[in-house]
Amino acid sequence: MTRPPLYTRRPFLAGLLRQLPLLVVLLAVGTGLLMVTFEHWRRGLVVVGLALVGGGLLRLLLPLRRVGFLAVRSRPVDVVMMAGVGLTLTAVALAVPGE
């Protein structure tokens, strides 16, 4: 006898697991913004930029049923926007003259 799928046995848990990639990206962005708050702005912005690049990679590699709310538009648009903004933010943070 096979067990029913997780989304019918525990829909709340299945929904949380589906949003795990978004939670990882948001935690990394929050960590970067916390670093900016405590006057480590360059490292913080690099962390935020790399978190966005990571979100773009997650959107690229994960199937649609596992990506959750990282899927906003079509896959190419999401990947280009997230990775592009992340790379731009990282490049600008590293290009500003140092402390």
Distances from the Cα of 19 to the Cαs of 13, 39, 74, 84, in angstroms? 10, 31, 18, 22
Tens digits of per-residue pLDDT, 26-69? Answer: 999 999 999 999 989 999 999 999 999 999 999 999 998 888 89
In whole angstroms, give the CA distance from residue 48 to residue 30.
8
> What does the pLDDT read at residue 81?
96
Mean pLDDT of the chain: 90
Query: What pTM does this model have?
Result: 0.85
Lookup result for tokens 């067990």 = 3
On whether residue 13 sits in a domain, the answer given is: no
On whether residue 31 sits in a domain, the answer given is: yes
On whether residue 9 sits in a domain, the answer given is: no
| Overall domain count for the chain | 1
Tens digits of per-residue pLDDT, 11-37? Answer: 778 778 889 999 999 999 999 999 999
> What does the pLDDT read at residue 92?
95
The residue segments making up the domain with residue 41 are: 21-61+73-95
Distances from the Cα of 25 to the Cαs of 64, 69, 82, 98, in angstroms? 17, 11, 11, 27
On whether residue 7 sits in a domain, the answer given is: no
